[in-house]
Amino acid sequence: MVMMWDLQGSSQPRQQFSGHSMVVTGLAVSPDTSQLCTGSRDNTLLLWDVGTGQCAERASVSRNLVTHLCWVPREPYILQTSEDKTIRLWDSRGLQVAHVFPAKQHIQTYCEVSEDGHKCISCSSGFGGEGCEATLWDLRQTRNRICEYKGHFQTVASCVFLPRALALMPMIATSSHDCKVKIWNQDSGACLFTLSLDGSGPLTSLAVADTVSLLCASFSRGIRLLRVDDSRGLELQEVAGF
C-alpha cells in the first residue's frame, strides 16, 4: 500500500493507494503531480489518479520484480529497474513498454534521470567487484550505453546526478553496500573522490539535498549529511548525522 499525507494538514493520510499483492518497491510522481506510478515485487506497475486515489492503468511483465521507478522530467515516460537485470522505459499513456535497454549481468537496483531528461543512470548489484557498477545511458534517439563507473566492491544501491553548480564538469555520485560514496566524472568515468563511512553498514540510498550537500541513508547509522567542498580540490565530507 502507498499512503499520501498533506504536510500542512492532518496527521491522517490524505489518500491511500491499495492494489499490489506484494511489497511496493518503486514510486514515481508525474511532473504535474496528477499521477502516481507504483511498482512491486508482484511484477506489476500501477498508474494512479492522485486526486481520486483510483487505479487508471495496470501492467504486468513476467519476472519483472521492480526495484525502482523514476519519472522523466517534462515527459510522459517512466524509467524502471528490475531484478531481471533490465531497465525498461514505460509510456504512461496506456502504461506500455516503450523501450527495453540491453540487459546487464546483474540485478539493476536503482535508476535516476538527469534534469534535462536526456540521460539516465542505473546501478548494479554484485560482490567482490563483479558487477557493482553504475551505467550512464542516452535517453534520446540512440538510447545507447554511454559510460560505466567501476570501483565499488559490493552492490551499488543508489546513484544521483550532481548539480552543475558544484563543478565545471558534470558529475554523478554513487553509494554502495561497501560503505563508500564515490564521486565520478560523468563523461570520462574517472573516480574523483571516495568517502568511506566506516561502521555505517550498507549504504542504502543517496539524494541531493541542495547545491552542495547530499543525504546518504545507511543501515546502521541513520542518515548522514555529506558536503561537497571544492576549495582545495574536490572533497566530500561528513558534516552531520540523523
pLDDT of residue 143: 86
| Greatest C-alpha distance within the chain | 53
Instruction: Judge whether residue 199 has pLDDT over 80.
Output: yes
Higher pLDDT, 124 or 169: 124
pLDDT of residue 234: 84
Q: Which three cell numbers stand for residue 200?
A: 555505517
pLDDT of residue 9: 83
Kindly report the length of the chain. Answer: 242
Q: What is the pTM of this model?
A: 0.92
pLDDT of residue 224: 96
- Taking the C-alpha atoms of residue 174 and residue 234, their distance in angstroms, rounded to an integer, is 15
> What Å distances lie between residue 95 and 47, 84, 109, 121, 186, CA to CA?
7, 19, 21, 22, 31
Q: Which three cell numbers stand for residue 118?
A: 536526456
Per the CB < 8 A criterion, the answer to whether 153 and 128 are in contact is yes
Confidence of residue 168 (pLDDT cuts 50, 70, 90): confident
pLDDT of residue 11: 87
- Taking the C-alpha atoms of residue 19 and residue 2, their distance in angstroms, rounded to an integer, is 9
Q: What percent of the chain has pLDDT over 90?
A: 84
pLDDT tens column, 78-112: 999 999 999 999 999 999 999 999 989 999 999 99
> What Å distances lie between residue 101 and 48, 89, 203, 215, CA to CA?
25, 8, 26, 29
Region 118-142 average pLDDT: 93
Q: Domain-by-domain residue ranges, the chain?
A: 2-200
pLDDT of residue 217: 97
**CATH architecture for residues 2-200:** 7 Propeller (2.130)
pLDDT of residue 165: 76
Q: Which three cell numbers stand for residue 45?
A: 506497475
Higher pLDDT, 211 or 23: 23
